[in-house]
Amino acid sequence: MAVRLSAARFRVWKMQWSRSTHPLRGWRRASMADVMGIGSWEPHWIGISTHGRYAAFHRPEVSRGPAIVFVPPLLHEIERSRRFVTEVAGCLAEMGLPCLRFDYIGTGDSSGHADAVSLDSLQVDIWHAEAALRSLAGAGNVVVLAWRAASLPVFRWLKAGAMPRAVLMWEPVVDGAAWLEHLRRQDHSERLARRPYKYRLTNGAFQGDGHLLGFALSDRLRLDLADATLSLSEWRPSLPMWAILRSSEQHVSDEWDRHFTLPDGAPEFGGIDSTMFLSPPVERVVKCLGRALLEEL
């Protein structure tokens, strides 16, 4: 059945046609990305050739605003949100905002081993991604969009002297130790509940495998995150700081120069079994964000 469905999907893609401006060929074949509803992108390798970082560049037909570096979330939230983040990038690119997604060294489709991942390595990855986007988009203005716990390496990157045009943070994690403890409890619950599992809990004792919720976590990154915090009251960069927050986080909205509120029921990064996709209500928030970037930056 799986093969039959895959073949059917390919036939649908092959038969999809859309208008082209070519004078002799009035129709062109649509790309798979167009059919699937996430727009098209260009794959790239960025940074040092021996330490290849996979990146995907969403190039708008006409660039109308600042370029955006998407700094991905951390640990299991990277894979859970990949489709969702791609849809957001496609939506903003349609509005004329060039977007670059990338995988950290040691994660996703980038080279390297998870044991080498640390806040230092993540910070280097962000430097490379910003430089690559400036080159690909030919943009002077670059905005950084940090997803969830990416707020912590991005904040450290800013302290190191980075000066993007603005920083946007989507549901930022502000306390690394508290976030890790939340994940530890969630991991504990999952290992108890799911059978069979090689590293399950037995008589209350956990046989460690170096993973947290199925994602490899180096000792160095664990220690780094436990010490990492984001406090705009203690140190604030001299650039616009925007946030996309849930309604339950409105008590901290005054800390940001501007904030956007996610609708109730917006997909959650921290879930395990729920699906993440760009729902129409969340898409409206993304388009509101895009218009603000076009008008204000």
Domains of the chain, residue spans: 38-174+236-296
Beta-strand relationship, 215-216 and 142-147: unpaired
Mean pLDDT confidence for 210-230:
92
Contact 85, 150 (CB under 8 A): no
Mean pLDDT confidence for 105-120:
93
Tokens coding 265: 């029921």
Is pTM beyond 0.75? Reply is: yes
Q: Quick one: 38-174+236-296 is in which CATH superfamily?
A: Alpha/Beta hydrolase fold, catalytic domain (3.40.50.1820)
Mean pLDDT confidence for 246-269:
88
In tens, the pLDDT along 127-160 reads 999 999 999 999 889 999 999 999 999 999 999 9
| Element housing 76 (H / E) | helix 76-80
Residue-level pLDDT at 14: 36
Distances from the Cα of 145 to the Cαs of 99, 177, 193, 222, in angstroms? 10, 22, 35, 23
Mean pLDDT confidence for 24-35:
35
Give all strands (DSSP E) within the chain, no chain letters. 17-19, 27-29, 42-46, 53-58, 67-71, 99-102, 142-147, 166-170, 201-202, 205-206, 211-212, 215-216, 241-245, 258-261
Contact 129, 103 (CB under 8 A): no
Residue-level pLDDT at 257: 95
Residue-level pLDDT at 193: 75
Q: How confident is the model at residue 211 (pLDDT cuts 50, 70, 90)?
A: confident
In tens, the pLDDT along 34-80 reads 434 577 899 999 987 656 899 999 999 999 999 999 999 999 999 88
Residue-level pLDDT at 203: 46
Mean pLDDT confidence for 175-204:
76
Tokens coding 87: 């849809």
Which residue from 282, 234, 235, 232 is spatially nearest to 257, judged by alpha carbons? 232
Residue-level pLDDT at 6: 40
Specify the higher pLDDT residue, 1 or 97: 97
Task: Spell 152-187 as b/e; 16+ CB within 10 A means b.
Answer: bbbbbbbeeebebbbbbbbbbbbbbeebbeebeebb
- pLDDT averaged over every residue in the chain: 83
The end-to-end CA distance of the chain, in Å, is: 50
Specify the higher pLDDT residue, 267 or 163: 163
Which residue from 293, 244, 257, 258 is spatially nearest to 85, judged by alpha carbons? 244
Residues 103, 168, 143, 77, Cα dihedral to 10°: 10
pLDDT at 21 over 50: no
CA atoms of 55 and 116, how far apart (whole Å): 19
Q: How confident is the model at residue 210 (pLDDT cuts 50, 70, 90)?
A: confident
Tokens coding 34: 């167009």
Residue-level pLDDT at 85: 96
Residue-level pLDDT at 199: 52
Contact 295, 279 (CB under 8 A): no
Mean pLDDT confidence for 82-97:
96
CA atoms of 223 and 114, how far apart (whole Å): 14
Listed range (174-178, 206-210, 220-224, 260-264) with the worst mean pLDDT: 206-210
